[in-house]
Structure 1
């Protein structure tokens, strides 16, 4: 196992791009970190430079890591090597609660096997479709008038409590801190009302997936979410970011809306989230 340095992470980013979109979670983290966005992760690989498994884990050298929900993400081209790394005492701290996020569902049996060998509990959290835009030619512009366009704005940290109250995985102090950091360092968009208050919003996670899309109930069925996803995708494409998002498997409303904007998917590919030491 090897811990990657900054220049090596740049090289790893280039390799992962060749495997996009299935590598999107790790690729997004490296893309963000390599452009000096705040991060509390450490990147490890099985071998270098020809790695088969790459893992992002909480950085034990970073004191702020303890202030965030511990998350591990990985991309693997060899399940035997992945199994060996997960069983290695030095790779992951299995003694505390952590989440493995956005992993290829084909690895689900392996993770549960390792959980059993480690004698730790686990809980499946969600299963999502991966939708992405390969380039600007795929993006479809929705119809919206100049009045709605004039109401598109950005979130600021004072809106974090509102977002935290409506985020499925938020509602606590850790969720609030995470949202403040995302709003402060990553693009966000919202639709404001006549008093300048957000009524619909969309953020970018630290691994660059669009997320936390939400519209207040009394403002739904007006196309706000569609406009926000389009506006965010347009900006990300213009600035060279990867453009992707995850839609929970049973959320057909969001799935159809995002597909209507030109996003594509691999129907056979699903991403899962699982928590350990629950």
Structure 2
């Protein structure tokens, strides 16, 4: 398969990609594990100042789709999110690790996190981080859930006596305020980050009598995030309603609905299964220690 990627000068093995859409056939072949990275590629036109795509080419005489793909997303609160799509056979992983450590693609002294890292390369990434920073990084274990093309929502509507319920995209101002105030990991810069996500991406909110009671956004790494229901409105099915709407909206936008859930979060895992999402693979989040 030939790729016309519009590559810039090679940087210690990595090459910057300017024709991001030409990566789509490769990423499509790697589904479902590449679900969030393919979403990033499809959303690149919305976040060209925040996203950068790089590849590490396979040695000569190997298929062009045997690429390591890295996508960085610069966010206002947590620094750089680093997303990787690896070849299925993990060819030339040692060369990838060396290039990762020695290149200028990652500023190792600045805040970063490897997001939704495939379990098959988790040890490799941890070794690279340890070698580059001198610190032993942790790895938060998660499951990647996604909706297959055969997805059918299990619940499409709710009726609550005496209340008017509406499901729609989040309002930028109210939505950003709602998500940030209820996100336990919010920090300085999170409001600007979340506001930008809602402005440029699809989102989902459940409004009861015009009050936002449940909402979620699509993050810079192409995944549904920050799902939250106000405590007094829980156990009424609003999270299910919110997620069903979000999944259908993402499909309409030609994106793949996906999210990660910590392996210890039994309630959230049950919710994803309830609405019909499937586990694609194990992933980890690896931050700079």
Kindly indicate whether residue 68 of structure 2 is the aligned counterpart of residue 53 of structure 1. yes
Alignment of 1:165-176 (within 5 A): 165-170=181-186, 172-176=187-191
Under a length normalisation based on structure 2, what TM-score does the superposition of the two structures give?
Answer: 0.82
How much does 1:32 deviate?
A: 0.8
Deviation string 1:38-69 (CA, Å, 9 cap, x unpaired) is 541211111284442111135xxxxxx48452
CA contact (8 A) 2:167 2:207 kept: yes
Deviates more, 1:35-44 or 1:198-207: 35-44
C-alpha contact (below 8 Å) 2:37/2:84 kept by paired residues: yes
Task: Return the structure number with greater helix share.
Answer: 1
2:170 corresponds to which of 155, 167, 172: 155
Aligned to 1:261: 275
What is the alpha-carbon distance in structure 1 between the residues aligned to residue 146 and residue 164 of structure 2? 24
Q: How many residues align?
A: 263
Deviations 1:83-111 (A, max 9, x none): 12212233322122211111112222222
Q: How does 1:107-186 map to 2 (within 5 A)?
A: 107-124=121-138, 126-135=140-149, 137-142=150-155, 144-146=157-159, 150-159=165-174, 160-170=176-186, 172-186=187-201
Q: 1:231 aligns to what?
A: 245
> What residue ranges of structure 1 are gaps of 5+ in the alignment?
59-64
Corresponding position: 1:82 with 2:93? no
Distance 1:181 1:91 in 2: 24
Tell me how large the CA RMSD over aligned residues is. 2.2
- Which SS does the other structure have where 2:109 is aligned? coil
- Taking the aligned partners of 2:75 and 2:220, their CA distance within structure 1 comes to 17
Secondary structure in 2 matching 1:178:
helix
The runs of 5 or more residues in structure 2 that have no matched partner are: 1-13, 59-63
